[in-house]
C-alpha cells in the first residue's frame, strides 16, 4: 500500500480492548459446561458471538482510524452493519462447535475455518463501506489468502486453548489469558495483513517503492507460515490426545467389564472386593451397621430345564432390574454367582434388614412375563450384619450364606438372620467340608473299610465296602458327614470310581492268596448308577485286575432303582451280562414300596 502514517497508541488501545472482550467471551463460554446454565446456552452462544463481532469491529475500525489517511473517508452504515452481522453469526456457530464436551479434529478445523471466514468477511465487507475520495483501492490476491490463513490458524489455536481450559483444573486464568491473546492476535494479524494487501494509492502520487513491498511481503509470509505451522502442530497434538482419550476410554470399559456381570450388568464379585473394603472402613469409622443379604433363587434349575436357558437368562435380567429400580439409593445389588445375588444395605440395623428382606422376597415372587410365558419363582435369603456377624467381607459372606441355607431347610421363600447357634455353625461347617472335598478327591484322602457279612452258620459270606474320609485336620469322617455334599457337587462320581477300583484291587489280592472273603459289595449313588461311563469303567477294571466278575456286587438303594425304572432294568441286565451281581439295599423303606 502507499506510504502512510499511523497512530501506534490507537493500535495498542484496540489490542487491549479486543483482548478484554475475548477474555469475557472465554469466561462466559465455560458457563455452558455447568448444568445450572444449560437452559440459557443459546443466549450465551449468541452473546459470545456478538462480543467477538464487537472485538473484530474494534480492531478493524480503530485500526483503520489509526491510519490518518482515513480521516477524510465516508462510511456506508448498512455495509458496515452487514459486516458486523456476518462476524456475529459465524462467531456464534464457531463457538457452538467448540463448546461441546469433545473436540474431534474435524470439528476443530471446521470451527477454525468458520471463525477465520467470519473475521476476514468482516474486514473485506466493511472495506466496501468506506469511500475515500482522493484515493483508489485495489487488492493483492496472495496477501488476501495469507490474511485468511492467519485468521483461521490463530482462531484454531485459540479454540484449542479453550478446549484445554475445559479439561484443566489448574492454571485456568493463564489459559484464559492465552486464549484472549491468541484470538486478538489472529484478528489483528488478519486485519493488518489485509490492510497491507489493500493497495491504497494517491491518484497523483506514485506507488511506494518496490523494495518496501518486498519487505512487507517477506514479514507477512514468515508470520503466516509460523501461524499455519503452529496450527498444524496443534492439530496433530489434539489428534494424539484424542487417541489417548479413546485408549483411556477403552481401558476403562475393559476395567468395567471385568467388574460387571455380562448378563445383568450388575457389579460382580471382583467389584465387591474394593467396594466392601471402602464401605466397611467408612461404617467402622462412623460406628454404623451394614446388612448383607445373600439371595439364592429357589429351584432356578427347574426353570432352565422346563423352559430353556434363554428364558432363565431373561428371568435373571428382569429380576435384577426389578430389584435395582425398586430399592433405595443406600442399597447396592451385586450378582455373585449363577442364581446368587448379594444386596448390601448401608447404615441398616437388624429390624430394617428384616423389613428389607420381606420387601425383596415380595418383589422376587411377583410373576414374570417372558416370551409369552408366565414364570414364577421364589428366593431364600440369609442376613448377616456388620460388625456383629463379621469384621471382614469374607466372614460376612460366609455367615450370610449359612443363614441362607437355613432358609432353604425351613422350606424356602423366607429369610433367616445369622446367629451363632449350633445348627447354623454346622451348616457353615458343612459348606467348608464341601470346599475341602475337591482337594480330598484330588489327593485321594479316602479310606475303604470292609464290613463282613455272615450267613446263618456264622460264616463270612462276603464283605461290604464302607468309605471313610481321612480329613487332614478333622480326622476320620463317616459318610453321613460328607456324602450329601459330594452328591450336590457331583464329586460322588469320582469317589465311587475310586471305591470300585480299590475293591477290585482287594479282590485280586484275595483271589491270589485264596482268602475267600469275597464278594465285595460296593454302594453306588443314583448319579453314578446312571453315569454313562459306569460300564466302560467296570469293563476296564475287570480287565486290569483280571478278577472274577461275580466276586463284585453293585449295591444300590431301592429309591435309586425306582428313580428311572426302565433305565435301571437295562443297567441291571447289562451288569448281569458282565457277570457282576446287583443287590438292592434298604428294600421296602422307600415311598416306591407302596407300588408293589
The full set of domain ranges for the chain reads 8-251, 269-420, 436-595
Whether the per-residue pLDDT at 209 is higher than 60: the answer is no
Residue whose C-alpha is closest to residue 41's, from 91, 96, 98, 97: 96
Q: Check if 269-420 and 436-595 are the same fold.
A: no
Whether the per-residue pLDDT at 542 is higher than 90: the answer is yes
The lowest-confidence range among 237-251, 349-363, 435-449 is 237-251
72 versus 90: the higher-pLDDT residue is 90
Superfamily of domain 269-420 in CATH is Reverse transcriptase/Diguanylate cyclase domain (3.30.70.270)
pLDDT band for position 398 (cuts 50, 70, 90):
confident
Question: Residue 422's pLDDT is what?
Answer: 44
Task: Return the percentage of the chain with pLDDT > 70, whole number.
Answer: 78
240-265 average pLDDT score = 65
Helix-then-strand count for the chain, H and E: 19, 17
Per-residue model confidence as pLDDT tens digits over 485-504 = 888 788 888 999 999 999 99
CA distance 480 to 455: 27
Per-residue model confidence as pLDDT tens digits over 574-595 = 889 999 998 887 554 444 444 4
Phi-psi region of 575 (alpha: psi -120 to 50; beta: other; left: phi over 0): alpha
Residues whose CB falls within 8 Å of the CB of residue 219, separated by 6 or more in sequence, listed in order: none
The label of the residue with cell 475520495 reads 133
The CATH label, of 3.20.20.70, 3.20.20.450, 3.40.50.1980, 3.40.190.150, for the domain at 436-595 is 3.20.20.450
Q: Give the three-class secondary structure for 340.
A: strand
CA distance 328 to 182: 51
226 versus 464: the higher-pLDDT residue is 464
Question: Residue 191's pLDDT is what?
Answer: 79
Question: Residue 49's pLDDT is what?
Answer: 84
pLDDT band for position 254 (cuts 50, 70, 90):
very low
Question: Residue 161's pLDDT is what?
Answer: 80
Q: Which three cell numbers stand for residue 96?
A: 457452538
Q: Which three cell numbers stand for residue 273?
A: 472386593
Question: Residue 208's pLDDT is what?
Answer: 41
Question: Residue 206's pLDDT is what?
Answer: 41
Whether the per-residue pLDDT at 5 is higher than 80: the answer is no
pLDDT band for position 210 (cuts 50, 70, 90):
very low
CA distance 567 to 573: 10
Q: Which three cell numbers stand for residue 539?
A: 469293563
Q: What is the DSSP string of 540-590?
A: HHHHHHT--GGGEEEEEEHHHHHHTHHHHHHHHHHHHHHT-EEEEESTT-S
Whether the per-residue pLDDT at 215 is higher than 50: the answer is no
CA distance 48 to 96: 10
Q: For residue 288, which phi and psi values (nearest 5 degrees)?
A: -115, 160
Which of 54-68, 99-113, 360-374, 575-589 has the highest mean predicted lDDT (pLDDT)? Answer: 360-374
The per-residue pLDDT of the chain, averaged, comes to: 79
Whether the per-residue pLDDT at 168 is higher than 80: the answer is no
Question: Residue 488's pLDDT is what?
Answer: 79
Question: Residue 40's pLDDT is what?
Answer: 73
Question: Residue 250's pLDDT is what?
Answer: 56
Per-residue model confidence as pLDDT tens digits over 335-348 = 988 889 999 999 99
Whether the per-residue pLDDT at 214 is higher than 80: the answer is no
Are residues 587 and 554 in contact, defined by beta-carbon separation less than 8 angstroms?
no
1-6 average pLDDT score = 50
462-475 average pLDDT score = 89
Whether the per-residue pLDDT at 7 is higher than 80: the answer is no
* 296 DSSP β-pair partners: 340, 380
Per-residue model confidence as pLDDT tens digits over 125-167 = 877 766 655 445 555 666 778 788 888 888 888 888 888 777 6
Per-residue model confidence as pLDDT tens digits over 49-81 = 888 888 888 888 777 766 655 555 566 678 878
315-336 average pLDDT score = 89
Per-residue model confidence as pLDDT tens digits over 377-389 = 999 999 999 988 8
Whether the per-residue pLDDT at 444 is higher than 60: the answer is yes
Question: Residue 373's pLDDT is what?
Answer: 87
Question: Residue 74's pLDDT is what?
Answer: 60
The lowest-confidence range among 100-109, 213-222, 349-358, 418-427 is 213-222
Classify residue 400 as exposed, middle or buried by CB count within 10 Å of its CB (0-12, 13-18, 19+): buried
464-468 average pLDDT score = 92
Q: Give the three-class secondary structure for 297.
A: strand
pLDDT band for position 285 (cuts 50, 70, 90):
confident
Task: Return the percentage of the chain with pLDDT > 90, whole number.
Answer: 21
Which of 214-223, 254-263, 511-520 has the highest mean predicted lDDT (pLDDT)? Answer: 511-520
Amino acid at each position: 500500500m502507499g506510504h502512510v502514517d499511523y497512530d501506534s497508541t490507537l493500535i495498542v488501545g484496540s489490542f487491549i480492548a479486543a483482548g478484554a472482550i475475548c477474555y469475557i467471551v472465554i469466561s462466559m463460554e465455560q458457563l455452558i459446561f455447568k448444568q445450572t446454565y444449560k437452559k440459557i446456552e443459546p443466549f450465551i452462544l449468541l452473546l459470545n458471538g456478538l462480543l467477538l463481532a464487537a472485538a473484530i469491529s474494534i480492531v478493524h475500525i480503530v485500526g483503520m482510524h489509526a491510519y490518518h489517511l482515513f480521516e477524510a473517508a465516508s462510511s456506508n452504515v448498512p455495509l458496515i452493519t452487514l459486516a458486523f452481522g456476518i462476524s456475529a453469526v459465524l462467531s456464534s456457530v464457531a463457538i457452538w462447535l467448540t463448546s461441546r464436551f469433545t473436540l474431534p479434529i474435524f470439528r476443530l478445523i471446521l470451527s477454525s475455518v468458520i471463525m477465520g471466514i467470519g473475521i476476514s468477511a468482516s474486514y473485506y465487507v466493511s472495506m466496501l463501506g468506506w469511500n475515500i475520495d482522493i484515493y483508489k483501492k485495489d487488492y493483492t490476491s496472495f496477501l488476501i489468502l495469507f490474511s485468511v490463513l492467519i485468521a483461521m490458524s490463530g482462531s484454531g489455536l485459540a479454540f484449542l486453548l479453550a478446549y484445554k481450559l475445559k479439561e484443566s483444573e489448574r492454571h485456568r486464568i493463564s489459559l484464559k489469558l492465552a486464549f484472549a491473546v491468541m484470538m486478538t492476535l489472529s484478528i489483528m494479524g488478519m486485519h493488518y495483513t489485509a490492510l497491507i494487501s489493500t493497495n491504497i494509492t494517491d491518484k497523483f502520487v506514485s506507488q511506494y517503492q518496490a523494495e518496501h513491498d518486498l519487505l512487507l511481503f517477506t514479514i507477512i509470509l514468515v508470520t503466516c507460515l509460523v501461524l499455519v505451522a503452529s496450527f498444524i502442530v496443534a492439530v496433530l497434538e489434539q489428534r494424539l490426545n484424542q487417541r489417548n482419550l479413546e485408549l483411556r476410554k477403552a481401558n476403562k470399559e475393559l476395567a468395567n467389564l471385568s467388574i460387571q456381570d455380562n448378563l445383568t450388568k450388575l457389579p460382580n464379585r471382583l467389584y465387591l472386593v474394593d467396594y466392601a473394603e471402602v464401605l466397611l472402613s467408612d461404617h467402622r469409622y462412623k460406628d454404623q451397621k451394614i446388612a448383607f443379604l445373600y439371595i439364592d433363587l429357589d429351584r432356578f434349575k427347574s426353570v432352565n430345564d422346563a423352559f430353556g436357558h434363554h428364558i432363565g437368562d431373561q428371568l435373571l435380567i428382569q429380576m435384577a432390574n426389578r430389584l435395582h429400580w425398586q430399592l433405595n439409593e443406600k442399597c447396592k445389588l451385586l450378582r455373585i454367582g449363577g442364581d446368587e445375588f448379594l444386596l448390601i444395605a448401608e447404615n441398616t440395623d437388624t429390624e430394617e434388614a428384616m423389613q428389607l428382606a420381606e420387601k425383596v422376597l415380595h418383589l422376587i415372587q411377583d410373576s414374570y412375563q417372558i416370551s409369552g410365558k408366565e414364570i414364577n419363582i421364589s428366593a431364600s435369603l440369609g442376613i448377616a450384619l456388620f460388625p456383629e456377624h463379621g469384621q471382614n467381607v469374607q466372614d460376612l459372606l460366609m455367615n450370610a450364606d449359612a443363614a441362607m441355607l437355613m432358609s432353604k431347610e425351613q422350606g424356602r421363600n423366607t429369610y433367616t438372620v445369622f446367629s451363632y447357634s449350633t445348627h447354623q455353625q454346622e451348616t457353615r461347617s458343612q459348606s467348608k467340608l464341601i470346599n475341602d472335598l475337591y482337594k480330598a478327591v484330588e489327593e485321594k484322602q479316602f479310606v475303604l473299610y470292609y464290613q463282613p457279612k455272615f450267613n446263618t452258620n456264622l460264616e463270612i459270606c462276603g464283605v461290604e465296602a464302607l468309605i471313610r474320609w481321612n480329613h487332614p485336620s478333622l480326622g476320620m469322617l463317616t459318610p453321613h458327614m460328607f456324602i450329601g455334599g459330594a452328591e450336590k457337587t457331583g464329586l460322588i462320581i469320582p469317589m465311587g470310581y475310586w471305591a470300585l477300583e480299590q475293591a477290585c484291587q482287594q479282590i485280586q489280592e484275595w483271589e491270589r492268596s485264596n482268602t475267600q472273603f469275597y464278594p465285595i459289595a460296593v454302594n453306588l449313588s443314583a448319579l453314578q448308577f446312571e453315569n454313562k461311563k459306569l460300564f466302560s469303567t467296570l469293563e476296564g477294571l475287570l480287565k486290569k485286575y483280571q478278577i472274577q466278575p461275580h466276586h463284585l456286587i453293585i449295591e444300590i438303594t431301592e429309591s435309586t432303582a425306582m428313580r428311572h425304572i426302565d433305565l435301571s432294568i437295562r443297567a441291571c441286565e447289562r451288569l448281569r451280562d458282565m457277570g457282576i451281581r446287583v443287590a438292592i439295599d434298604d428294600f421296602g423303606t422307600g415311598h416306591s414300596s407302596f407300588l408293589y
